Chains A and B, each alone.
Chain A
């Protein structure tokens, strides 16, 4: 039983991170029908910005909590700007091109960011400073819950609620949902779809930057090509929830995190990724539109 609770806590933590990153995929896909392959790398770039802030000498006089706050601010602002720049340079010129042209551009952007990180921060594993958050542990039903885990779980929950309220109770949020359902109709209804796209490329990367920094704080390390695996798993989470569907990405992220935790606990961890992909393939066979996605019949 302790083991089950422990895996549940671990799964919820990692699932929260997946969900934060998955939102960026699902929102871009919803509006542009584009898999933004560079998103995972952007998120990990956020972790590196946080890492540099946390280990920078100039902030060493400040209290830990303030430095941590600054790390989040720099990561969020930096990645938000990077997201907009990415869209402007790599995707916007290809809005009306063949479907695969922006996909290749996105793959190129992913390689560019990943290798850019490697050239700036090096190809070696980078560790986070040890005492960013106090090393507090609680015992929950025989399992341990660390402060980092609590911060990640509660932080993710708060961001989810905020995002949910945002997309359901603001004009721009409604415009995002409308553009995801039918971009042409949204345009005809007077929605400025270009503004929606710009917004999506700010919100998604900002949330992703938080997710990336959570990865760094949780594992206390970062590696230049982490973006690839986190990006891919978050994207799988988005598909599981129903690609294009915002609550679906949240649900998919949490479910995938839990699945991973239990799969790693019960089955050989060297096959963990293979099992996740097997799950994805199974879901796409049975219900291609994901858990919350709508089935769309082709109009003949």
Chain B
């Protein structure tokens, strides 16, 4: 066989098709660029929050940034790697407790606890996920619920005498940087806002890297992925550990923001809220996840006088959004589910 006839057939078309593909790609990337620019503009506008809004809104903005980071990390493990982690509040909580314990019981400066919070959460994510990543979806979901329950019990039972029992730990200080103490809600807002930008940048890069693609290969067809030479177990543990690490970072910020931690902030219900944020907003979609966080976290703050209806409304919103838009409010442009 001298020449590949298919190749010969294809070559006249190639010139035309190249330009077609290029045009398509540019359309896709134009959309991505517009949302990207809009995102950057929104971030800068957000910097004005402490200047123009009331202190209550500054606090809401700061906590929003923290929740958004957790939701983005939930999307790494759930949306991007396709593992049904319904106990993500554990890693968020571990980060918060690490910061609270190191500052209050061991007198560490708050800033120095951040890397430790990330590392401890990452390791815990790896250790907890290692034996369970082979479980199929629903079983993984139930086991992670179990992790969440065990974690809450451990905190309530005052594990090692460090976690403060059901009341938790009070008085966590803000971080100190270049002699400046981040004490006011405005300071903490800026800190969280900058960290959110860093996390968004990392997620943006993840999307364009071999690592991010590998997570998605495993999500869509694990067996096919392994026959391409992908060590599924390693990468699934990696996805869990990475998501846990980012949630741990958010936890450290959360402890400083509230200057207190208690088991109630990391219950299974909170895990359900993060799980729902990703699916209601849109899997694998950064704008979707951020929008989900606004809907499930910021909107309820506006109606805080109706707090007792909060979870009732959550329930209705979750059902209604799923029925109207099963892919989420702002799904990934190419479909993430």
| A85-132 CB contacts (< 8 Å) to partner B | 89-90, 93-94, 97-105, 107-116, 118-119
Q: Tell me whether B312 and A119 are in contact (CB under 8 A).
A: yes
- Contact: A111 with B312, CB < 8 Å? yes
A285–B156 Cα distance when bound, in Å, is 27
- Would you call B332 an interface residue if the criterion is a C-beta within 8 Å of the partner chain's C-beta atoms? no
The distance in angstroms between the C-alpha atoms of A108 and B141, with both chains bound, is: 16
Given A97-B326, A280-B146, A271 contacting B153 (CB threshold 8 A): yes
**Which of B14-22, B109-117, B316-324 is the contact stretch?**
B316-324
6 further A-B pairs in the complex, CB-CB below 8 A; given A102-B322, A107-B318, A108-B317:
A33-B138, A93-B323, A97-B322, A115-B308, A115-B309, A273-B149
- Tell whether, in the assembled complex, residue B150 and residue A274 are in contact, meaning their CB atoms are under 8 Å apart: yes
The answer to whether A35 and B138 have CB atoms under 8 Å apart is yes
Contacts of A102 in B (CB 8 A): 322
Please, which residues of chain A bring their CB within 8 A of the CB of B315? 107-115
Known A-B contacts A93-B323, A109-B319, A271-B157; A100 and B314 likewise in contact (beta carbons under 8 Å): no
Top 7 A-B pairs ranked by shortest CB distance?
A108-B318, A112-B315, A111-B315, A277-B146, A97-B326, A115-B312, A98-B337
Contact residues of A: prevailing secondary structure: helix
Q: Is B10 an interface position by the 8 A CB rule?
A: no
Contact between chains at B139 and A288 (CB < 8 Å) = yes
CA–CA, A29 to B315, complex, Å? Answer: 21
Given A112-B316, A115-B311, A235-B142: A105 and B323 interface contact (C-beta under 8 Å): yes
- In the bound complex, residues from chain B placing their C-beta under 8 Å from that of A114 are 311, 315
Please report the C-alpha to C-alpha distance between residue A112 and residue B309 in the assembled complex, in whole angstroms: 9
- 14 cross-chain CB contacts under 8 A: A90-B323, A94-B323, A94-B326, A100-B337, A105-B318, A105-B323, A109-B319, A111-B311, A118-B308, A270-B156, A274-B153, A278-B150, A280-B143, A288-B135
B131: Cβ under 8 A from any A Cβ: yes
Give min CB distance, A29 to chain B, whole Å: 8
Provide the residues of chain A in CB contact with B193, threshold 8 Å: none
Contact B318 A111 (CB under 8 A): yes
Residues of B within 8 A of A (CB): 84, 131-132, 135-139, 141-143, 145-147, 149-150, 153-154, 156-157, 223, 268-269, 272, 275-276, 279-280, 308-309, 311-312, 314-319, 322-323, 326-327, 337
Report which residue of B84, B136, B311 has the largest number of chain A beta carbons within 10 angstroms of its beta carbon. B311
Contact present for A111 and B314 (CB under 8 Å) = yes
* Residues on A with beta carbons closer than 8 Å to the beta carbon of B132: 281, 284-285
Residues of chain A lying within 8 A (CB to CB) of residue B138: 29, 33, 35, 243
Which B residues touch A94, using CB under 8 A? Answer: 322-323, 326
How many chain A residues touch the partner (CB < 8 A)?
47
* Interchain nearest-CB distance for B99 vs A (Å): 24
Residues 24-40 of chain A, each 1 if its beta carbon lies under 8 Å from chain B, else 0:
00000100010100000
- Rounded to whole angstroms, the CA-CA distance of A278 and B153 in the bound complex is 13
A271–B150 CA distance with the chains assembled, in angstroms: 8
> What are the residues of chain A within 8 A of B309 when measuring CB–CB?
115, 119
> What's the Cα separation between A135 and B142 when bound, in Å?
39
Contact with B along A215-235 (1 / 0, CB 8 A): 000000000000010001001
Who on chain A is nearest to B139 by CB? A284
**A300 in the interface (beta carbon within 8 A):** yes
Q: Which residues of B contact A236 (CB under 8 A)?
A: 142
With A232-B145, A239-B142, A284-B139 in contact, is A101–B279 under 8 Å at CB? yes
Which residue of chain B has the shortest Cβ distance to A284 in the bound complex?
A: B139
- A-chain residues with CB within 8 Å of residue B149 when the two chains form the complex: 232, 273-274, 277
Contact yes or no, A100 B142, CB < 8 A: no
With A94-B322, A273-B149, A277-B150 as given contacts, are A108 and B142 in contact (CB-CB < 8 Å)?
Answer: no
Is A112 a contact partner of B143 (Cβ separation < 8 A)? no
Please, which residue of chain A has its CB at the minimum distance from the CB of B323? A93
Let me know if B223 and A300 touch, CB within 8 A: yes
CB-defined contacts of A101 to chain B, threshold 8 Å: 279, 322, 326
- By beta carbon, the residue of chain B nearest A98 is B337
Q: Are A107 and B146 in contact (CB under 8 A)?
A: no
B275 proximity list for chain A (CB < 8 A):
104, 107
Q: A253: shortest Cβ distance to chain B, in Å? A: 16
Residue of B nearest to A118 (CB): B308
Residues on A with beta carbons closer than 8 Å to the beta carbon of B319:
89-90, 105, 108-109, 112
For A98, the chain B residues whose CB sits under 8 A away are: 326-327, 337
B153 & A273 in contact (Cβ 8 Å cutoff): yes
Contact between B139 and A100, CB atoms less than 8 A apart: no
Of all chain B residues, which has the CB nearest A97? B326
Do the beta carbons of B311 and A119 come within 8 Å of each other? no
